[in-house]
Each structure stands twice: as structure tokens, then as C-alpha cells.
Amino acid sequence: MLVDNAVEGDSRVQKAARSAADAGWDVTLIGCAHIDAERRWRLGDAEVRVLPLAASPAVVAGPRGGSASGGRAGPRDGFASLGGVSGLRARLVARGGLPLRAARLARRPVEHAQVRYWRARLRDGAWRRLEPGLWDYERVAGPVIDELRPELIHAHDFRMLGVAARAVDRARTAGRDVKLVWDAHEWLPGARPRSDNARWLPAHLGYVREYVGHADAVVTVSDTLADLLVRDHALPERPTVILNAPVAATTEMSAPGLRERCGLSPGTPLLVYSGAMAVQRGVDTVVEALPLLPGVHLALVVADPDAAYVRQVVARAARHQVGDRVHVLPYVPHRRLVAFLATADIGLIPLHHWPNHEIALITKFFEYAHARLPIVVSDVRTMSETVRATGQGEVFRARDAADLARAVRVVLADPDRYRAAYEGPDSPLPGWTWEAQAARLDALYRRLLTPTR
């Protein structure tokens, strides 16, 4: 398995590697991260190796000594002047002659021109010039993959797709038949664009289009995303949906739980938001709703309690005079998280409207469900439709603090009504487990490899 991060914070990748090893596969999970030296450990019977990424040089060589542009473009193609303009602006910033924000705004026309030029010359291969840092993953992971001589490569997310495809090509040239599974974690065209880099999205879109045809099978996180991938890439087979569901059977229980960690009595209303923090995740809306919810506390379970944006949210709470009701706690291991969350009263998903937010049932949705928490979710399409269908929570208008407060009050008035959705023969929980998803993934692996065994 391949992933473009340090593994520790990626529960989907961890669960996939561990469950595959439990099913009898010999699993090596390779991560790539900006660390000083290689790290190794084990997830159950799966071996984990996180390889150190080096920063890209200004002029990037392609794998095996080739140029990043495939030999078709270089500094003499008449486009170097744009780079010269960018360099001039960088020097002005360094000397204090151009504010950084102004420099970024001034750079955008140059970047858009770069996108148009390289796409005209290299089409989907333009990523070699627009985002040459993608080669870093190849240089670091490629030799390790070749040494392992796998029968199947499971590439998580979009950056590792090309790395896996090139490894498969090398293996097949050497006479070995290797299968490639691409795990599409998100819909790339719907990703939030980087405001400081106009090259990023078109480069990565071209990168995926170049290599998606190499995949023997595609898996993804929701039915809606599966349909979008079929449409975008004319896939011959609909992707297998592997939900981001939690592990159900585990003895790694949490002690103490969330409520105890917050120092709250059983009768104190407690909301929880667990997961990544960013403006588009909507936690600011929750903070603005707290003055409308006297006595209600909020727990934020986040990767880095000291991160800049987390501090901004805490400062906003203080300005609203609710700082004493906001508790910031670090992540717990994913196999303990469900039990850890279970002492809260409501799980929050206050997402803003954004394409990728509309199409997924995200990880925290299933974690809240298995913790038997009523869910208060913004009116992003897929999750709001699911909550309304199951009766497990309430929906509010995204970015509307007053409507969020209304939804919270409705749930707190009769929480048992919403918890009842998780009980009985119609409960969705049996299908929302990682064990059910792992069986689906194992069946896919075996189908792909059966002809060669």
C-alpha cells in the first residue's frame, strides 16, 4: 500500500493495511513524509515504512535520470521570461519592496499563463512542469516498491497513483504481472483550490487523467463519488465503495472518556466536533451559536490543539464570552475513538457548502453513529439526506448559527428519539463497520489476483 503522508493520522489507510494483513495478505504500507529519517513499525501484522521526502530542487529531474518534462520542454523554450518575472518579484519581497500579499496577487497572471502554456504543449503531462514536486514521491518510493516485488499495489489518494502506475509498468516490462488498485479518497475537481497557487489544481487533474487508466480497479468512499469517477474518467467498471466506517470489534476501549476529560458532570450538555480544523469545516458557526445555548459545552478533538487555526477558534470563543465552555483535546487512536466520544450528547458536522462536502459520508459521521450520538449536520447533500432518512439527527442551514442552535435545542429536548435510530432490525450500524468494508476489499483483491495464482 502507498500513501502520501506519515500514516499516523490516516485512519482509512491504517484500517485497510491492518485488515488486509489480518485476512492473510503480506502487507507493507509505504508512507512519504517530511521527516528526518525512515520510520518503521507494525500495525497488527502489517509492516509500516514511512520514507523521508526531500525538498524538490528548482529544476527537477524525472525518475531514473530523465527530465521532469520528458525531454520535451526546457528553459530554452521561450517561456523562461515568466520565471524571470516571478524571480524578480521574489527578490522584491525579500528586500521589502513588495508586500507578500501583493506579490501573491501579482503572481497569479503569471501562473495562469504558465498553466495555459504547458497544457498547450504537454496536455495532461503538463504536471511535470506545473507541479514537479510530484516526482519526489517517485524518487523516494519507486526503488522501495521495486525491491518489494509486490503482486498488487493499493495506491491511496491521488499523489500515489502515478507512482504505482509507473511501478506496475516497470514490473510488467520485467515479466511480472502486478495489479493496481486506486483508492480515490476525494473528488479532485471539487477540492478547495489553493489561493496561493493557480497551478496546483490543473496540474493534479492532468496527473490523475494520465494515470487513472493504469488502474485494474478503483475503490472510493461513497456511491456519489463512484458515479462521478465513472463520468469523469469513463471507467469500464464502477468503483467499489469502501466506506470510512470505524472498527466495530475492538477491545481498545477509552478510559477516561470525553466527558471526564472535559471535567463535566453527566447532566451538562456536551457537543463534540472531532476531526480536522479549517474554516470550511464550520466550527466558527458552532462558536457563534454557543451564546444562544446557555450551559452547553463544546469539545474539539483535533490533531494539534496548538495549531494556529485552533487558537483562532478559541480566541473567537473568548470574544463571545463562551471560552470557559470550549474544551480542546488531542486525537486518540482511531480504535479507541468511538468509545471516547460516547459520553457526549451530540456529534457536530457543521460543514460549509463545497463540492466534496456534498458527496461524502465522512469518517466522523460513522464514528458519531457508532458512538450512538445524535448528529447535527449542516445541509450538505449526502449527509443531510442520510440523517433525514434514518432519523439519527437534525439538519441546519450551513453557516447559520441561529439555525444550528435551533437544531441543537431540538435534539437536547428528546435525545432518545434520535438514539433509537441505531437500535433494532432497521439499524444501519451493521453495514457501517470497517469489518464489512474489509470483506469487500479482500474480495476485490482476490478477484484481481485469482487469474495469476
How far apart (Å, rounded) are the C-alpha atoms in residues 82 and 97?
20
Closest CA to 126 of 78, 57, 72: 72
Measured in whole angstroms, how far is the alpha carbon of residue 429 from the centre of its chain?
23
Question: pTM for this one?
Answer: 0.83
pLDDT-based confidence at residue 74 (cuts at 50, 70, 90): very low
Nearest residue to 273 (alpha-carbon basis) of 319, 313, 321, 225 = 313
Of all helices (H) and strands (E), which one includes residue 17? helix 11-22
CB 270 within 8 A of CB 264: yes
Residue 393 CA to residue 348 CA, distance in Å, equals 10
Q: Domain coordinates of the chain in residue numbers?
A: 2-56+131-241, 258-428
> Strand, helix or coil at 210?
helix
Strand arrangement of the beta sheet that strand 326-330 belongs to = 326-330, 297-302, 270-274, 346-349, 375-378, 393-396
What is the CA angle 190-238-381, rounded to 5? 40
Distances, alpha carbon 169 to alpha carbons 31, 145, 215, 243, in Å? 21, 12, 11, 29
What topology does CATH give the domain 2-56+131-241? Rossmann fold (3.40.50)
Average pLDDT, the chain: 89
Across 37-51, 58-72, 354-368, 419-433, least confident range:
58-72
Question: What pLDDT does 59 receive?
Answer: 38
Compute how many other C-beta atoms are within 10 angstroms of the C-beta atom of residue 106.
15
Q: Smallest Cα–Cα separation from 273: which of 192, 336, 327?
A: 327
Do the domains 258-428 and 2-56+131-241 match in fold?
yes
Of 267, 423, 281, 256, nearest in space to 342 by CA = 256
> Does residue 69 register a pLDDT over 70?
no
pLDDT tens readout for residues 120-135: 999 999 999 999 999 9
Asked if residues 28 and 47 have their Cβ atoms less than 8 Å apart, the reply is yes
CATH code of the domain made up of 258-428: 3.40.50.2000
pLDDT tens-digit series, residues 377-400: 999 999 999 999 999 999 999 999
- 240 grid coordinates: 467499489
